[in-house]
Structure 1
Amino acid sequence: MTISTQQKLGSVEGIRGVACLMVFLSHLSSTFAPSMHTGNIANARTPIDIIMHSSPFAFLYSGAAAVGIFFVLSGFILSYCILNKGDAVTNAAGMTIKRYFRLMPPALGSCIIAYFALKHFTFDKSALGDWAQNYNISNPSFLDAIYNGTISSFLSGSAPYNWSLWTMKIEFFGSLSVFFLCCIIPKVKYKKTLIVIFMVMPFFMNVKSGDEIYYAAFFSGVLIYMLDINFPNKLGVILFAIGLFFCGYHTNGYLYKSFNSLININIYNKHIDNYTLFNNIGGFIVVFSVLRTKIISKIFSRDLFVKLGALSFLVYVLHQPIMHITSTVLFNFTRDNGLSYSMSALLSSITTMVIVYLVSIPYQKYVDSISVKISNLIKTKMMIKQI
């Protein structure tokens, strides 16, 4: 049962859109219901905090799984763009030139927005979770924000103005690694073995703990592209459900305690974090099952999911600085007017999500489109013309 290329690429956008929504829900729950993540009964803010933490639906707000899904998708789509048509080296060279300039403008714009938000808006966040309370810079600097959006987030992962940009380092260097790998693949006999070697390599490198798992996720996306497998619908749905189960992994979650006690991986005296590991395994299984199962791929390639995917990167980079203003103002206003904590949190979350998605539409037109034009122009100027 084959899946059309158009449907497969549409489902890539669809999964990306859902993953972005998962990140958004992760940060909203960290703001209003932190016990959904920690399982700390004493610190529960709403009636469903602990229920959700121990339920099989925790994948709905798993930021770690969502980020893993992003990286698997990046590995898949980048390898598709390089290996599907034309000369791999030429394609990889062009994408290498474009990559930074494609990612940087939206990230920079979000840091500038964050600068103005942190500089000019201070709110009482005492009733909110630590994630919201700790998002603060005592003396915001415009130049620091620019440096954050152009250099530090991409080279070191340091992103105090917009915490979500910590992923830019892995996205950038992971992309470069995939480009390099894709230049080699066409000339190698044992292609899948080579990809697996690349997946394992980060675990033996001196990288930040947890990052090795995310780099491996990049290469796992290349592996999905190379594996000529299509699952029967029933098997694909089962795999998808298993993937979602692991995407909801919490170290102290009721359903996951046995996994955490049984698995203790150390490589060169460096402990491999079970939370990041299982969330990323779940992300890999989810992407694999969606892209290789016709019925699931068809669902995620529908217009709504594809439209969410088209805005996903922009929503991802914009949501934290906007949340700093909207969620806090709306929450305090509704609480001051007599609404319960739960109702205030719900209304603030829904309204904030609507605002961020609406803002992302003009941001796509006036910022993201510029990054596409700039990256294509630089590629044209730097590439040797083919005769």
Structure 2
Amino acid sequence: MQKANKTHPSSYSKERTRGHSTTPTAGQGSHSITLDGVRGLAAISVIFSHVFLLYYSEIHYGLADGAPSTLALSIFNSPVTFFYRGGAAVLLFFLLSGYVLCSACIKKAPLDDNYVSMAASKRYLRLGLPVAAAVLIGYLGIVFNAFPSAPAGINNFLDFPDQGLGFAQMLKSALYGSMLLGDGNFDYVLWTISIEFYGSLLVFAHFALTRKNRMLSIRLCMVLACFLLFMPKAYSLYSLFFFGAALAQVDFAAIRRLPARRVALLTVPLLLSGCYLIGFYATSASYRWLEPVTAGYQFLAPHADPSIVYPALGALCILVSILAGAGRTRLAEPGPGAKLLAWVGKLSFSVYLLHPFMLATAGKYIFLEMGKNMYSLLVCLVVVFSGTYFFSYFFYKHVDRPSMKIADKFGKRLFMAERTA
């Protein structure tokens, strides 16, 4: 890769990561908007997952403590569980992070030798400030008794958050507990944040070490990703970052130049296969045919977790289908649908952080007052979705977007000081 003339890092726009949209340019067009949409749809899937878990846990586990819902069991055993598979949506977040972060490095590092170090140095602030705000919201909810209490024995999901959590625990979680240790006491989705943070650093480190040899970088990414995928869950989640980094270095333009029919013959089956695999449940009737396959690779890798392996492969299929099929045309002016996709993608990180609070307040109240029935579920979905997106808009405007600017300034000033020292 040829080295371009150096420019000041302030001339670069910030890269977008999980929960933050990529701004479309003439060269990106529908490609970046589609990635935004995928990120936004993944956040929606997480909300569906948690609301369904509150009402009908059998839709996730295939069994229930009491009388199970026939409809919920039918959905569980169907091949279309992808729309509420929140755990798999998180894997898609990780994959997109690896792709977007590595893409930003490929684009900007040749123009500034300090770019990778600068991007890594600001990562903690970029993620940590919104996380700290979410932890504070959870703590204030406890202090002001905003979370309705539920009778014991109804649903363990109603016990969130622990009303005994105090100020010292909030401070620990906000400053480093969630970011470094995955502490989810104040917001149960924060178990993923430490993985996001460490995975991001792995992407930056890998690029810094292999940036001069693209083919070596791709091969090493794939070897590491495949190795980690069949490790225990604590390690296998990091495989998604390396898969994403590998895809960022693959040139999909040649595929996109093929006739539309040929591209569709490749991307549509990939997309459908990805949606199918991402909805994997080991005990679902729709996935029992995979048991011999699972037994085969677990013979060689006994610690491999099928609930990670298959959804990870599904997420990979989805992203490849998007990269190969999107961006065939350039968008001079995005239409309403494209703008909506960009909007849900932009708010996705805020939505991801805030929806547990809407579910633990309004959602829990609806469940306790209206009971466990389909009408109550529909009301809960409407209230939780509308409330989450309403508050997420302001959270994005006053917390998430400013955190990007603060982190960006921190990184620039840090390396500007080094240059003048």
| Residues 127-142 of structure 1 mapped to structure 2, 5 A cutoff | 129-130=155-156, 132-142=157-167
Call closer, same or farther: CA 1:97–1:277 in 2, change over 3 Å: same
Structure 1 counterpart of 2:195: 170
What code does the residue aligned with 1:358 have?
F
What code does the residue aligned with 2:322 have?
V
Structure 1 counterpart of 2:118: 94
Contact 1:14 1:300 in 2 (8 A): no
Aligned length: 377
Deviation for aligned residue 1:248: 0.9
| Residues 1-387 of structure 1 mapped to structure 2, 5 A cutoff | 4-40=27-63, 43=66, 45-87=68-110, 89-119=113-143, 120=145, 121-124=147-150, 129-130=155-156, 132-188=157-213, 190-202=216-228, 209-229=232-252, 230=255, 232-264=263-295, 265-266=297-298, 271-294=303-326, 302-335=338-371, 341-384=373-416
Q: Give the distance between the partners of 2:218 and 2:54, measured in 1 at CA.
A: 42
Q: Give the distance between the partners of 1:128 and 1:305, measured in 2 at CA.
A: 37
Contact 1:33 1:44 in 2 (8 A): no
Q: Give the distance between the partners of 1:269 and 1:197, measured in 2 at CA.
A: 15
Deviation for aligned residue 1:301: 7.8
RMSD of equivalent CA atoms = 2.7
Q: Give the distance between the partners of 2:36 and 2:67, measured in 1 at CA.
A: 35
Q: Counterpart of 1:365 in 2: which secondary structure?
A: helix
Deviation for aligned residue 1:125: 5.5
CA deviations 1:182-221 (Å, max 9, x no partner) are 112322252321212332454698xxx3132220001101
Q: Give the distance between the partners of 2:82 and 2:153, measured in 1 at CA.
A: 25
Contact 2:207 2:217 in 1 (8 A): no
Q: Counterpart of 1:161 in 2: which secondary structure?
A: coil
Q: Give the distance between the partners of 2:161 and 2:45, measured in 1 at CA.
A: 23
Q: Counterpart of 1:271 in 2: which secondary structure?
A: coil
Contact 2:103 2:249 in 1 (8 A): no
What code does the residue aligned with 1:302 have?
A
Deviation for aligned residue 1:320: 0.9
Contact 1:54 1:255 in 2 (8 A): yes
Deviation for aligned residue 1:44: 5.1
Deviation for aligned residue 1:4: 4.5
Q: Give the distance between the partners of 1:260 and 1:157, measured in 2 at CA.
A: 32
Call closer, same or farther: CA 1:109–1:45 in 2, change over 3 Å: farther
Deviation for aligned residue 1:161: 1.4
Out of 189-198 and 344-353, give the one that drifted further. 189-198
Q: Give the distance between the partners of 1:301 and 1:81, measured in 2 at CA.
A: 26
Contact 1:29 1:36 in 2 (8 A): yes
Contact 2:28 2:327 in 1 (8 A): no
What code does the residue aligned with 2:38 have?
I
Call closer, same or farther: CA 1:295–1:382 in 2, change over 3 Å: closer
Which runs of 5 or more residues in structure 1 are unaligned?
none
Q: Counterpart of 2:238 in 1: which secondary structure?
A: helix
Structure 1 counterpart of 2:17: none
Contact 2:230 2:236 in 1 (8 A): no
Q: Give the distance between the partners of 1:101 and 1:197, measured in 2 at CA.
A: 31
Contact 2:105 2:115 in 1 (8 A): yes
Deviation for aligned residue 1:294: 2.9
Which runs of 5 or more residues in structure 2 are unaligned?
1-25, 257-262
Deviation for aligned residue 1:223: 1.3
Deviation for aligned residue 1:381: 1.7
Structure 1 counterpart of 2:259: none
Deviation for aligned residue 1:261: 4.1
Deviation for aligned residue 1:20: 0.6
Call closer, same or farther: CA 1:45–1:325 in 2, change over 3 Å: farther
Out of 238-247 and 105-114, give the one that drifted further. 105-114
Deviation for aligned residue 1:67: 0.6
Q: Counterpart of 2:54 in 1: which secondary structure?
A: helix
CA deviations 1:137-168 (Å, max 9, x no partner) are 14121231232133112212222111101111
Q: Counterpart of 2:29 in 1: which secondary structure?
A: helix
Q: Give the distance between the partners of 1:42 and 1:155, measured in 2 at CA.
A: 35
Deviation for aligned residue 1:345: 1.6
Deviation for aligned residue 1:7: 2.1
Q: Counterpart of 2:108 in 1: which secondary structure?
A: coil
Out of 158-167 and 187-196, give the one that drifted further. 187-196
Contact 1:15 1:300 in 2 (8 A): no
Contact 1:110 1:318 in 2 (8 A): yes
